[in-house]
Amino acid sequence: MNDRVLVVYASKYGATAEIAEKIGEALRQAGLNADVLSADSGCDPGSYGAVVLGSAVYIGRWRKEASRFLSANEKLLTGRPVWLFSTGPTGDGKAEELLQGWRFPGALKPVADRIQPRGITVFHGYLNNEKLNFIEKWMIKKVKAPAGDFRDWDAISRWARSIADALKIPEAPNET
């Protein structure tokens, strides 16, 4: 199997990019060749054996560049190992519970269903009020989202190692 893994992300303020870098680091530590690139970098997933794609989530939606990457590369991604992650919820508790069971944008679900990712997860995010514009601050105040860094680096590393383990399963020897 091609041991090259593309970790692609869409991040507005950098928190999701840092998560993608952590995933890439864990994959490299497991012996895989991992490249970490922005979804709007023009990267070609065709030369990779596996792809991990993630996006920050705003109002239940992935960032446009991640949505475009997923849709534009649907045919290339179908039939190869793909994992998807979203980032965003802040506060204490399990990310999916904070999102009331939400794991992936509904508008992209048909594409994901055709690609058949091996895993979809949600990670806690980082809300830095100093980086937000006036409208974003107003929205955060309305929904009462707690500010701070809620990313669970151990959970992110464990998830990445599980991807590495899945990719490193040896193929059965050919019997002659």
Torsion of CA 25, 26, 29, 32, to 10 degrees: -90
15-45 per-residue burial string, b: 16 or more CB within 10 A, e: under 16? bbbbbbebbbbbbbebebebbbbbbeeebeb
> Mean pLDDT of all residues in the chain?
88
pLDDT digits (tens, 9 = 90+) for 24-48: 999 999 999 999 999 999 889 999 9
Calpha distance 114→79 (Å, rounded):
9
Domain boundaries, the chain: 4-167
Report field, pTM of the whole predicted structure over 0.95: no
Using the predicted structure, report yes or no on whether residue 174 has a pLDDT greater than 60.
no
For the domain covering 4-167, report its CATH number: 3.40.50.360
